[in-house]
């Protein structure tokens, strides 16, 4: 084997990371749909010829599941020896192709040096509609993957002769918004073209033998770092349970369970005891569960770990086949991201027993609304796919964050200006909800409220949310987060909608209020520093009444009243 020094290894690693960063910039700058060009619901990666992840620029950790395993699936259908320069493969199916839900269309290109495949570049982008029973192609109430949209095994979208128009036409024909799909797919093609050039340049600069040795060294280094940090954690088995409070069809409790075993420099996750796969689309293929586990390990063990397959070697995952975390075809899995956010709480809740100073309390997961109908300005069908940020739970040394993505989700909120320009929608309010953050020594992040009015013809609405009947779980004596909700006509009849629904016919001019769940608190609320409570009152995050009720802090004339605060806290601490 070629020997390689550490400096050269580091230079090669940064060349690959710079390539994925440039790929991401290309995809965002050239995409057509707001979901990609504005919300950045996309990620890019580089793999070696064996399918090992070498570099990743990911907006959302869950996107790792849309590229992991893709190379193996491609090579399983098209042996390496049969690949040719110019090949581009397209897939989206979690059971036969790659990825973890159908809207993430993923493209991969083999990279050739000296006539042989040395790497693959790939990108995944969430397309706002790829068919299925509901506009937006992500309906939690689907009961089979056959309802969720077009399924694509690994197929050649391009070869040396050019674009396979018949394959593209099949995709476009299945979408309610073909103009967006064509623009976004061509942006993905351009993105991989950039990635190929940068990888080829790295091989040209250093030579194939050196780069391949560098890849091995990069992965070995990542593994060594991970194992060293895992070894710092106390050995033992740490268990936790959580729930889904809606299975995609009905409000019911779905049990989630994990046992994390740390032994020396390795770590094992066992999801035995988790409920069997459910009726709705909130199941997770195993590849999606792996992405959630890899995220949690990186977050807890070493957030600066290089994002590659090296540290995966220190991790073992077991999930019963046919369970929520390892669903079996043809289970629906379109809304696997919602479950993935609860998975994050489940894992960090277990880690809290091993590394309490590194975790955060339960989070308020994103909520999703999909508006669709006929845009009167353009005379064509539109689909506004968007997920709305929730909030993080309190941490060991700081309050939770407001209006942010949590755990495995990561796309941005669509700016109001872009929303109103792109779609026949207007936003009446967009605000944080006072007193909504779970009380604690460190408070949970606040709920977000948004009112949206639709002006389309034949309008339809789909929604999906969790933590709508039970709030996020607290840690170390904190309080639960507040639940979220969907409400139709909030200023009138105020009809509350269920946690999962699709293709709901509403009237032109109807308003929907979406309120995300909040983060839970960490630590005893009565131990919160009164000055922090005062700052929250001044900023409008906590009311004066909430300060006294939840924290025992009495505020008078714009300042904390120490004597009354001490007396009130004593009463609140008293038994009964």
pLDDT digits (tens, 9 = 90+) for 276-331: 999 999 999 999 999 999 999 999 999 999 999 999 999 999 999 999 999 999 99
The reported pTM is 0.96
For 433-486, the pLDDT digits (tens) are 999 999 999 999 999 999 999 999 999 999 999 999 999 999 999 999 999 999
- Which of 419, 379, 394 minimizes the C-alpha distance to 514? 419
- 3-state DSSP assignment of residue 358: helix
**How far apart are the C-alpha atoms of 509 and 512, rounded to whole Å?**
10
pLDDT, one tens digit per residue, over 360-378 is 999 999 999 999 999 999 9
Share of the chain above pLDDT 90, in %: 94
Q: Which DSSP letter does residue 184 get? A: H
Distance CA 359, CA 345 (A): 10
- Among residues 547, 556, 541, which one has the least CA distance to residue 528? 547
Q: Reply yes or no on whether the pLDDT at 358 is more than 90.
A: yes
Q: Which two tokens stand for residue 414?
A: 């669509």
* CA pair distance 291, 70, nearest whole angstrom: 14
484: left (phi over 0), alpha (psi -120 to 50) or beta: beta
Distance of CA 16 to the CA centre of its chain: 23
CA distances from 289 to 73, 316, 336, 347, 360 (A): 18, 12, 9, 11, 20
Domain ranges of the chain: 6-225, 361-524, 538-573
Report pLDDT digits (tens) over 103-162: 999 999 999 999 999 999 999 999 999 999 999 999 999 999 999 999 999 999 999 999
Q: Residue 120's closest CA among 98, 144, 150, 153?
A: 98
pLDDT at 482: 98
Q: What is the pLDDT of residue 67?
A: 85
Contact 71, 51 (CB under 8 A): yes
- Quote the CA–CA distance of 313 and 162 in Å, as a whole number: 38
pLDDT score recorded for residue 289: 97
Q: What is the 3-state secondary structure (H, E, C) of 214-258?
A: HHHHHHHHHHHHHHHHHCCCCCEEEEEEEEECCCCCCCCCEEEEE
Instruction: State percent of the chain over pLDDT 70.
Output: 100
The answer to whether residue 97 scores a pLDDT higher than 90 is no
The stretch 184-208 carries a mean pLDDT of 98
3 state DSSP class of 187: helix
Output the pLDDT for position 1. 60
Nearest residue to 457 via CA among 520, 379, 513, 527: 379
Which of the four pLDDT bands, split at 50, 70 and 90, describes residue 63? confident
**Mean predicted lDDT score pLDDT of the chain:** 96
Q: Which two three-digit tokens encode residue 500?
A: 């999962």
pLDDT of amino acid 107: 97
Looking at residue 62, what is its pLDDT? 87
Q: Is the dihedral of CA 229, 233, 237, 238 positive or negative?
A: negative
Distances (CA, A) of 320 to 106, 132, 274, 346: 27, 28, 8, 17
Torsion of CA 208, 214, 218, 224, to 10 degrees: 140
Res 98: pLDDT: 78
CA distance to 22, 201, 527, per residue, from 198 (Å)? 9, 5, 54
Mean pLDDT of 345-354: 98
Give the DSSP per-residue string, 430-465: EEE-TT-SPPSSBPPPPPEEEEEEE--EEEEEEEE-
pLDDT band, very low/low/confident/very high, at 576 (cuts 50, 70, 90): confident
pLDDT at 60: 84
């Amino acid at each position: 084997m070629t020997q390689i020094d550490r400096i050269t290894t580091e230079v090669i690693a940064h060349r690959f990371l710079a390539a994925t960063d440039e790929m991401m910039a290309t995809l965002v700058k050239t995409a057509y749909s707001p979901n990609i060009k504005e919300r950045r619901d996309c990620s890019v990666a580089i793999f070696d010829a064996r399918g090992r992840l070498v570099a990743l620029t990911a907006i959302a950790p869950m996107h790792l599941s849309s590229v992991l395993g893709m190379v193996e699936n491609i090579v399983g259908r098209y042996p390496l020896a049969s690949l040719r320069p110019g090949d581009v493969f397209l897939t989206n199916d979690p059971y036969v192709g790659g990825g973890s839900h159908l809207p993430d269309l993923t493209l991969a290109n083999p990279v050739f040096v000296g006539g042989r495949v040395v790497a693959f570049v790939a990108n995944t982008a969430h397309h706002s509609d790829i068919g299925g029973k509901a506009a937006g192609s992500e309906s939690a109430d689907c009961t089979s993957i056959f309802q969720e949209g077009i399924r694509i095994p690994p197929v050649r979208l391009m070869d040396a002769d050019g674009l396979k128009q018949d394959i593209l036409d099949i995709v476009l024909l299945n979408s309610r918004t073909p103009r967006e799909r064509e623009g976004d797919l061509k942006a993905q093609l351009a993105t991989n073209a950039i990635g190929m050039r940068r990888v080829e340049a790295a091989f040209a600069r250093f030579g194939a033998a050196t780069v391949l040795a560098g890849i091995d060294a990069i992965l070995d280094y990542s593994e060594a770092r991970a194992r060293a940090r895992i070894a710092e954690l106390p050995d033992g088995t740490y268990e936790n349970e959580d729930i889904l409070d809606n299975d995609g069809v009905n409000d019911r409790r779905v049990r989630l369970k994990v046992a994390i075993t740390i032994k020396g420099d390795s770590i094992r996750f066992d999801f035995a005891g988790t409920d069997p796969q459910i009726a709705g689309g909130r199941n997770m293929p195993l590849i999606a569960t792996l992405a959630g586990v890899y995220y949690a390990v990186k977050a807890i063990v070493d957030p600066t770990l290089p994002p590659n397959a090296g540290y995966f070697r220190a991790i073992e995952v077991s999930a019963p086949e046919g369970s929520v975390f390892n669903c079996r075809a043809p289970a629906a899995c379109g809304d696997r991201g919602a479950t993935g956010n609860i998975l994050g709480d489940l894992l960090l809740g277990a880690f809290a027993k091993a590394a309490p100073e590194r975790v955060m309390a339960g989070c308020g997961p994103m909520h999703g609304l999909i508006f669709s109908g006929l845009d009167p300005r353009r005379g064509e069908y539109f689909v506004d796919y968007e997920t709305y940020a929730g909030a993080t739970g309190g941490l060991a040394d700081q309050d939770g964050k407001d209006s942010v993505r949590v755990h495995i989700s990561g796309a941005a909120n669509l700016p109001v200006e872009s929303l109103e320009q792109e779609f026949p929608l207007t936003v009446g309010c967009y605000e944080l909800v006072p007193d909504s953050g779970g009380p604690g020594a460190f408070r949970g992040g606040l709920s977000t409220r948004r009112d949206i009015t639709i002006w389309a013809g034949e309008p339809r609405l789909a929604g999906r949310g969790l933590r709508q009947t039970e709030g996020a779980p607290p840690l170390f004596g904190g309080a639960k987060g507040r639940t979220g909700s969907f409400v139709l006509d909030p200023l009138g009849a105020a009809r509350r909608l269920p946690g999962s629904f699709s293709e709901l016919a509403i009237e032109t001019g109807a308003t929907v209020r979406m309120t995300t769940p909040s983060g839970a608190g960490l630590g005893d609320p009565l131990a919160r520093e009164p000055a922090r409570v005062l700052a929250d009152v001044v900023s409008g995050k906590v009311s004066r009444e909430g300060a006294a009720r939840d924290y025992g802090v009495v505020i008078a004339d714009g300042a904390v009243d120490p004597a009354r605060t001490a007396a009130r806290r004593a009463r609140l601490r008293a038994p009964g």
